[in-house]
Amino acid sequence: MSQIENIPILPSQTSVVSKKDETGKPSQETKTIVYKSEVMRQLMKMLDRVAPSAATCLILGESGTGKELIANAIHERSNRKNRPFVAINCGALRETLLESELFGHEKGSFTGAYTRKIGLAEAANGGTLFLDEIGELSPGIQAKLLRFIQEGEIFRVGGKDPIKVDIRLISATNRELDVEVGRGNFREDLYYRINTITLHSPPLRRRKDDIALLVEYFLARGANRFLNRGRQMSEEAMKILIKYDWPGNIRELQNACERLQILADGHVIMPGDLPEQIVNPEQKIVVDDYDASVTLYELEKRYILKALNYFDGNKTQAANALGITIKTLYNKLHEYGEFEKYAVHVKPKAPGTGAGA
Ligand SMILES: Nc1ncnc2c1ncn2[C@@H]1O[C@H](COP(=O)(O)OP(=O)(O)O)[C@@H](O)[C@H]1O
Ligand SMILES: [Mg+2]
């Protein structure tokens, strides 16, 4: 464990070294993965299979979907669980700093290197190294990382002798790494080395079954629960939370719960306590990805209403832009039960109010 003492305190979000107490248990409480959805059930099953192996894992998913939590869970379910879990955010440091952070440096190897420093890869020896945002790595570091993975050896910056290091590598990114490979931004040989197993951390909008459980969990465990406000979500408020798409995923949900717990009027959080952008979100049309929860009918409806809003309710302009006749547009609006709402030619905009139900 003496290796770990050399690790500098880094700005938060840069790296995490999980320290173990004498009993070998992590000193912070182990992080629970809360879920009940089928996609997450499948993912956890996969995780149980993969964790005991030595395979490198690549976790893909949007920001805030719990990639770091998954990486940690792999470590905790492996036979390396009593050894360090070291996480580093590759996007948070510029190249030279990242190299010395990752591989360490010898005394005097550059201006400011007053002492020898053990890098995070070396500190993770025997354990797991988690490279978050690996898609951000510069070509220089990619080459050094590839060498490390192939040879199992590192060189400290300014060091002459290779140092044997045994780690299990887990990486994560919110980029489409195969696309980055195609574009020449990410080395193909490195890509194949880091993704023996690929795990997909699904966005929260694809596992809405988890929302209620997560909300309960965050409200019960929130740092501000002692305020004794917002301990519970009312049924109506929960419905709204489930309807919302959570672009920031679980991180956004966690933050929302924390704010609600502080700001709520009473014990039970009511719809009126919810922030406006959650109650009336700007509906985004995302079509780059298939979404099993959206039917073609629903997508068309959203798109048509979006067009109408864009043209301030002007149906002629909307129909023209959509490439349909005005008659078709009328028919659609009748079908949606939205005809009355758009009966007036130009919908006057009330500035600053989002009060449209
Ligand atoms: N299934 C889950 N259950 C409980 N907390 C979760 C879950 N998924 C994510 N979180 C929490 O949400 C936040 C974001 O997760 P994180 O692993 O940092 O996401 P990512 O690395 O994908 O951006 C963290 O505070 C994490 O503990
Ligand atoms: Mg992360």
**47, 224, 267, 288 from 200: Cα distances, Å:** 11, 32, 37, 17
197 within 8 A of 285, measured Cβ to Cβ: no
Class of domain 282-357: mainly alpha
State if residue 39 touches ligand 1 by the CB under 6 angstroms criterion: no
Q: Where are the domains of the chain?
A: 2-200, 206-279, 282-357
CA of 64 to the centre of ligand 1 (A): 6
How many angstroms separate the alpha carbon of residue 229 from the centre of ligand 2? 30
Instruction: Report the alpha-carbon angle 35-295-303, nearest 5.
Output: 115
For 132, phi then psi, to 5°, come to: -85, 150
User: What's the CATH number for 2-200?
Assistant: 3.40.50.300
Closest ligand 1 atom to 210 CA: 1
Q: State how far the Cα of 299 lies from the Cα of 315, in Å rounded to an integer.
A: 19
Query: How far are the Cα atoms of 2, 118, 123, 131, 202 from residue 5, in angstroms, in the given order?
Result: 5, 9, 9, 21, 36
Is 170 a pocket residue for ligand 1 (Cβ < 6 Å)? no
pLDDT values of the chain reduced to their tens digit, one per residue, 357 residues: 333 333 333 333 445 555 444 344 444 446 899 999 999 999 999 999 999 999 999 999 999 999 999 999 999 999 999 999 999 999 888 888 899 999 999 998 888 888 889 999 999 999 999 999 999 999 999 999 999 999 999 999 999 999 999 999 999 999 999 999 999 999 999 999 999 999 999 999 999 999 999 999 999 998 888 888 889 999 999 999 999 999 899 999 999 999 999 888 889 999 999 998 899 887 666 666 777 778 899 889 989 998 888 887 889 999 999 999 999 999 999 999 888 877 765 444 444 443 333
Ligand 1 centroid vs 284 CA: distance in angstroms?
23
Spell out the residues 6+ positions from residue 330 whose beta carbon is closer than 8 angstroms to its own: 315, 339
What would the CATH number be for the domain defined by 206-279? Answer: 1.10.8.60
